[in-house]
Amino acid sequence: MQEVRLIEVKEEILADNGRMAGELRERLTGEGCLLLNLMASPGAGKTSLILRTLEGLQSDFRLGVLEADIDSMVDSEKIAALKVPVVQLRTGGFCHLDAAMVAQGLDNMDTKQLDLIVIENVGNLVCPAEFDTGAHKKVMILSVPEGDDKPLKYPLMFKVSDVLVLNKTDYLELAEFDRDALRERVLRLNPDIRIFEVSCRTGEGIKEWTDWVTSQLAGTI
């Protein structure tokens, strides 16, 4: 019987993606441009947080956005209304971005003229956690209505993220949400993660979040 060769496709794909991501990150660092990868499930508030971030930092920094969706340009149109450079990445069924997709988007932006680019990844708590996009920092959003049990169900996302933004804190009085249990579960998975509590609707906590972004910019540009 002829020997069957086994190829671990996923491992090879991830290895190739990791190399490309590292090269992309090095390039952007040299250009003085900070790249943030924003990940969350649909409806958690990715676009809302981006809009609040742009409003808070637009007067002091040169900002850009990469929007990723399986379809639609609705979110890009909201960004463009603020006169911020935005590129729409239509993934056509892919549930995540990888370094090659991000590089393609960045090729359509003048990254040397930008201080910060925020990636709005595809709405998903699984696949985006596995792929390095070349971003300097990984930020995830969890909204209060989603529940405090998500670290138990999607541990990898919490393990790989540098920052957790707990959004929709204005719902805390209406939801059965244990923020102490959430914090304990998250820190058990990732003791170094930074946690911010915000409400994009009321603006609560947004200043603390944008101050953190500014501190990251100070180390990059």
Of 156, 154, 115, 113, the residue nearest 138 (C-alpha): 156
Positive/negative CA dihedral, 38, 137, 199, 215: negative
Q: pLDDT grade, residue 71 (50/70/90)?
A: low
Instruction: Please tell me what DSSP assigns to residue 6.
Output: P
The answer to pTM > 0.85 is yes
Residue with tokens 């603020």: 82
- Rounded distance, CA 163 to CA 179, Å? 16
Predicted confidence (pLDDT) at residue 166 exceeds the cutoff of 60: yes
Farthest-apart Cα atoms in the chain, separation:
69
Which residues sit opposite 143 in a β-bridge? 167
C-alpha of 26 from chain center: 18
Mean pLDDT check: name the lowest of 72-76, 161-165, 201-205. Answer: 72-76
Domain CATH for 75: 3.40.50.300
The token pair at 7 is 């190829």
Selected residue with higher pLDDT from 168 and 12: 168
Residue 93 lies in a domain: yes
Residue 152 lies in a domain: yes
Note the helical H segments in 32-98: 46-57, 74-80
The token pair at 27 is 């390039």
Residue 126 lies in a domain: yes
Residue 52 lies in a domain: yes
Strands (E), the chain: 34-39, 63-69, 86-90, 116-120, 137-143, 163-167, 194-197
Residue 143 lies in a domain: yes
What is the model's pLDDT at position 134?
Answer: 96
Residue 215 lies in a domain: no
Question: Where in the sequence is the domain holding 35, given as residue range(s)?
Answer: 10-209
**Exposed, middle or buried, 221 (CB in 10 Å: 0-12/13-18/19+)?**
middle
- Rounded distance, CA 45 to CA 112, Å? 28
Predicted confidence (pLDDT) at residue 69 exceeds the cutoff of 50: yes
What is the model's pLDDT at position 7?
Answer: 44
Residues 49-83: b if buried by 16+ CB within 10 A, e if exposed: bbbbbbebbeeebbbbbbbbbeeeeebbebbeeee
Tell me the pLDDT tens digit for each residue of 139-157: 999 999 999 999 999 999 9
Total domains present in the chain: 1
Residue 181 lies in a domain: yes
3-class DSSP assignment, residue 18: helix
